[in-house]
Amino acid sequence: MRRREFVLLLGAATLVAPADTDAQPSRKPVVGWLVAGRSGGSPITDAVVAELSRLGWIDGQTVTYTWRIAESDPARIPALAAELVARKVDLIIAPSPPAAQAAQRATATIPIIALADDMQGSGFVRSLAHPGGNMTGVSILASELDAKRLALLVEMVPTARRVAALADSKDGPSLPQLSTVARELSLDLRIYEARSADEIGPALDAIAAASVDAVNVLASVILHNARDIVMARIAAARLPAIYQWPEYTADGALMAYGPRQTLISRQMAKLVDRVLRGAPVAELPVEQPAAFELVINARTGKARGLVAPPALLARADEVIE
């Protein structure tokens, strides 16, 4: 190359703006979704996709999504995680504890953004501030909230003495705290287990036949995926119940206490965005919900002959009339 041509090329190069460290990479990353639920999306996964799109990550344009969906069959999740690893995806989104566990067992190198009841207590990270491995995510404090929900339920139904807890495991992390609250409130707490979608119906039949006064539906991916069935059956039995996600009250649930799914989704999307832009996953602190909402559907309560105490209504973030 002649000297004059070289100088011209060098001069043209100086006109190009320096690379923006926050810009998306030129290569389109591949993001694997490991979903424990059913096809057709869910409020959380749909919201994460929407938030990522707002951040500039659009499937087929700036990112490629590869979906592996267990169709509510937990036994399939490990094999699906292995498929994503074999696909050599750049990042795995695991929006449930079973998916997070399977993804972590499948790879120690691919970054994982997870949603779990307790990221540190479940052993997914070394600490919330310094995850230290290939996983970070959002910890929703489900065990503590399950116990809080029991107290709120009894406040709503002060005559309740026998309360059912619908759970996906009889030895889950929430149960010690639930038992403590039940003793403090002099409750007869009965645990009904549904470890799979097929066991939900029999568990609800047992609850309806047990003459319980109220139901605490514990945080669970299995129960969340079957929320339409759970809510319909509990409503048919005319049992007051409290749920994990405030959004349920818009569909007729009596009451709910916890973080909004939209909030959780934004936190997950933010972490995905940072990793795709080059941030090391080991140094990204685990997110926790910044706000919890108590929502009461007074219309549902009235239909079941229940009137929320004024003190409880005063503490509610939203009351559906």
Q: Report whether 38 contacts 76 (CB < 8 A).
A: no
Q: Report whether 294 contacts 255 (CB < 8 A).
A: yes
pLDDT band with cut points at 50, 70 and 90 for residue 246 = very high
Q: What Cα–Cα distance (Å) separates residue 45 from each residue in 139, 144, 196? A: 16, 24, 21
Kindly indicate whether the domain formed by 26-140+261-283 is annotated with CATH number 3.40.50.2300: yes
Structural fold of domain 142-258+292-320? Rossmann fold (3.40.50)
The domain segmentation of the chain, as residue ranges, is: 26-140+261-283, 142-258+292-320
Enclosing H/E stretch for 45: helix 43-54
Neighbours of 296 (CB within 10 A): 27
**Confidence check: pLDDT of 5 > 90:** no
Q: pLDDT at position 26, please?
A: 62
Neighbours of 199 (CB within 10 A): 14
Q: What's the rounded Cα separation, in Å, for the pair 7 and 174?
A: 69
84 alpha-carbon distance from chain centroid:
21
Q: What's the rounded Cα separation, in Å, for the pair 309 and 80?
A: 48
pLDDT tens digits, one per residue of 203-212: 999 999 999 9
Copy the structure tokens of residue 220.
């669970």
pLDDT tens digits, one per residue of 255-309: 999 999 999 999 999 999 999 999 999 999 999 998 999 999 999 999 989 999 9
Q: Report whether 112 contacts 134 (CB < 8 A).
A: yes
Neighbours of 64 (CB within 10 A): 14
Q: What's the rounded Cα separation, in Å, for the pair 306 and 298?
A: 8
Neighbours of 290 (CB within 10 A): 8
Q: What's the rounded Cα separation, in Å, for the pair 85 and 45?
A: 20
pLDDT tens digits, one per residue of 165-190: 999 887 777 888 899 999 999 999 99
Q: DSSP letters of 258-279?
A: E--HHHHHHHHHHHHHHHHTT-
Neighbours of 318 (CB within 10 A): 13
Whether 26-140+261-283 and 142-258+292-320 share one fold: the answer is yes
Q: What Cα–Cα distance (Å) separates residue 31 from each residue in 23, 93, 117, 202? A: 17, 7, 23, 38
pLDDT band with cut points at 50, 70 and 90 for residue 27 = confident
User: Is residue 235 classed as helix, strand or coil in its secondary structure?
Assistant: helix
Q: pLDDT at position 14, please?
A: 32
Q: pLDDT at position 299, please?
A: 96
Q: pLDDT at position 320, please?
A: 97
Sheet harboring 255-258: ordered strands across? 188-193, 162-167, 214-217, 241-243, 255-258, 293-297, 318-320
User: Is residue 255 classed as helix, strand or coil in its secondary structure?
Assistant: strand
Average per-residue pLDDT for the chain: 90
The residue-averaged pLDDT of 65-78 equals 92
Which residue carries 């007051």 as its tokens?
240
Q: What Cα–Cα distance (Å) separates residue 300 from each residue in 45, 150, 242, 250, 311? A: 28, 19, 12, 10, 18
155 alpha-carbon distance from chain centroid:
26
